[in-house]
Amino acid sequence: MNPRTIELVCPAGSLPALKNAVDHGADCVYLGFKDATNARNFTGLNFDQAQIQAGVEYAHRRGRKVLLALNTYPLARNWTDWVAAVDRAAALQVDALIMADPGLMAYTARTHPQLKLHLSVQGSATSHEAINFYHERFGIRRVVLPRVLSLAQVEQLAANTPVEIEVFGFGGLCVMVEGRCALSAYATGESPNCHGACSPGKFVRWEETPQGMEARLNGILIDRFAPDERAGYPTLCKGRFEVNDELYYAVEEPASLNTLEILPELARVGVAAIKIEGRQRSPAYVTQVTKVWRAALDALQSGATFTVQPAWMAELNRISEGQSHTLGAYYRPWK
């Protein structure tokens, strides 16, 4: 694949973040409504009707696309809320919906056939058979692959489906099968895939104690921070717990996925889009990461030998979780 065709898809948790992404080189931005229909349903994030309209107009005037994440799963009691969200999205003229629920896809394909559909990472499609099923039944144009596949597996998928392949290139990782967090659901009684938030803010408590700043989720102690330590948002998978008298990150150490070094390989295997995680992050984060990835993609398409620049890595180090990077599942030297 010609690297020029690789789209840079950047997060927008607010209108300022959307404008920063567009201004610094994003080809697409993705966002969500201020409700549980999207998987980043946090207080202070996301868009109301007027903000999305302004964002769509801002992006379209500059030749960029707006993708709306409608990627949680409705329940029988609130199905009409999700259907109404689809109708609102169609009226707002977004460029595509990112969806996970098959019933909702069926409704969208039947009622708004002009709306392009992308299969969300929440759909957890890891085989070309699954991807092609969604394509044949609902007209899915693009799939966002889960972050559990090796590069060889991504290549195999791309070779066996007409659906465009989008992969995560930078940002947070999720060890809970892309948001299907049994830990968070057990602790709070609210499933992230139905309510749109892992560690919902109403269950989070911070308390200064003689032992340090404590972070709790529905009363469960997740972490304790020293006075000079930067405190991250409390999620169970990234908490520090005492196991056999040893205190450490028992489930997952905080680190950011960073695929800059394999960008030429991602282009070679046929990836159509690179997605940046981080709708919950600040507009400044969006600016920094968009600038780096725009420069990297431009360097890739220039035809010169691609080299990861130290300045790019230094910039990304400042905004990475735990100030560390990983290739995640993409690189498995034992295979």
pLDDT at 192: 84
- Residue 309 has φ and ψ, to the nearest 5°, of -80, 135
pLDDT at 322: 66
pLDDT at 1: 42
Output the CA torsion sign for 326, 328, 334, 335. Answer: negative
Contact 145, 166 (CB under 8 A): yes
Q: Which fold has domain 3-173+255-330?
A: TIM Barrel (3.20.20)
Contact 244, 127 (CB under 8 A): no
Joined together, the tokens standing for residue 234 give 């409390």
pLDDT at 204: 92
CA angle, residues 78, 109, 105, in degrees to nearest 5: 40
- CA count, 13 A, side-chain hemisphere, 171: 23
Contact 236, 251 (CB under 8 A): yes
pLDDT at 101: 97
Q: If residue 184 lies in a helix (H) or strand (E), which one and from where to where?
A: helix 182-188
| The model's pTM | 0.92
Q: Locate CATH 3.20.20.70 in the chain.
A: 3-173+255-330
Contact 202, 45 (CB under 8 A): no
Q: How far apart are CA 130 and CA 203, in angstroms?
A: 36
In DSSP notation, 135-156 reads HHHH---EEE--TT--HHHHHH
Print pLDDT tens along the chain (335 aa): 444 579 999 999 999 999 999 999 999 999 999 999 999 888 889 999 999 999 999 999 999 999 999 999 999 999 999 999 999 999 999 999 999 999 999 999 999 999 999 999 999 999 999 999 999 999 999 999 998 899 999 999 999 999 999 999 999 887 666 667 788 888 999 888 888 888 888 999 999 999 899 999 999 999 999 888 877 778 888 889 999 999 988 888 778 899 999 999 999 999 999 999 999 999 999 999 999 999 999 999 998 899 999 999 999 988 887 667 888 888 876 55
Q: How does pLDDT run across 159-172, given as a tens digit for each residue?
A: 999 999 999 999 98
